[in-house]
Amino acid sequence: MLRIVDGWKSYGDLQVLKGVSFEVGEQEVKVIFGPSGSGKSTLLRCINMLDPLDKGEVHLREQNLMAPGINLNAIRARIGMVFQHFNLFAHLKAIDNVSIGLRQVKKLPKEEARAKALEMLNRVKMAEWVDHYPAQLSGGQQQRVGIARALSMEPDVILFDEPTSALDPELIGEVLQVMLDIAKSGTTMIVVTHEMGFARAVASEMLFLDNGVIVERGTPQHFFVSPKSERVKQFLKQLDILYGSHKELLKRSNEEESK
């Protein structure tokens, strides 16, 4: 459904993406992970054309998004985006954050847009908070509104750019739960995340991106049991130290002490 072929992108002298290719099928959840600076966020921005590729192709439902003269606004309405720092519209209430796209882009009448927005907020369990402004909400609540905002446009695919990495640990769970529900309802998703529990639960394929190239790809099972490249093993080990059981961390600190 979504296909990216040999994508290259650079900023000045810095080559960020070096020939990335992959395909996402209908109702598939793709998880992209990798060290910081590997080009994950850039890749997402290239897919929804906020920052088009220098070279390569992006196809959405057999439509070439890189074709000249294409209406990018119409394309972006079909690709949802959830941001690391939520990027909710600070001057609008939760309900208006969700309905603004319906009003401005889909040109729905006010009442219809509101009803739809309420439905979406209900879906992310934010129905109680419709009249709150973003600054009055916790990070987890803001991100759930962000997800509702993306869902409201009924996009073909939703891109998640590290949706939980700016959240307090206690708030990550509520957001992941909402994302799980959405994934299970058959939404096509591309998720940049280091939440391996989430990946294990819903990812059909995981891509490990490092230095602008896909180093390794496979099912969650493949990564957790028998990753091939050294780089991946090393990275997963680091994640395990940080987010996995605390045994490894304890072991290390004991080693340090005994030195």
Find the helix or strand (DSSP H, E) in which 215 lies.
strand 213-218
Please say which residue, 90 or 225, places its beta carbon nearer to other proteins: 90
Q: CA-CA distance, 100 to 121, in Å (whole number)?
A: 13
Please say which residue, 192 or 215, places its beta carbon nearer to other proteins: 192
Whole-number minimum distance, CB 101 to other proteins, in Å?
Answer: 4
For residue 185, which amino acid is it?
Answer: S
- Taking CB under 8 A as the criterion, the residue among 89, 185, 239, 252 binding other proteins is 89
Q: CA-CA distance, 100 to 201, in Å (whole number)?
A: 32
Q: What is the DSSP string of 155-203?
A: -SEEEEESTTTTS-HHHHHHHHHHHHHHHHTT--EEEE---HHHHHHH-
Q: Considering only 87-95, 110-118, 203-211, 237-245, which stretch makes contact with other proteins by CB under 8 A?
A: 87-95
Q: How many residues lie near other proteins (CB under 8 A)?
A: 31
For residue 82, which amino acid is it?
Answer: V
Whole-number minimum distance, CB 88 to other proteins, in Å?
Answer: 7
Q: CA-CA distance, 257 to 123, in Å (whole number)?
A: 49
Residues 36-75, interacting with other proteins (CB under 8 A)? 48, 50, 73-75
What mask of x and - would describe binding to other proteins in positions 103 to 122, judged by CB under 8 A? Answer: -xx-----------------
Whole-number minimum distance, CB 156 to other proteins, in Å?
Answer: 12
Told to check if 166 binds other proteins by CB under 8 A, we report no
- Taking CB under 8 A as the criterion, the residue among 1, 5, 77, 213 binding other proteins is 77
Q: CA-CA distance, 148 to 142, in Å (whole number)?
A: 10
Q: What does the binding site for other proteins look like in residue numbers (CB under 8 A)?
A: 48, 50, 73-81, 83, 85, 87-91, 100-101, 104-105, 132-137, 149-150, 153
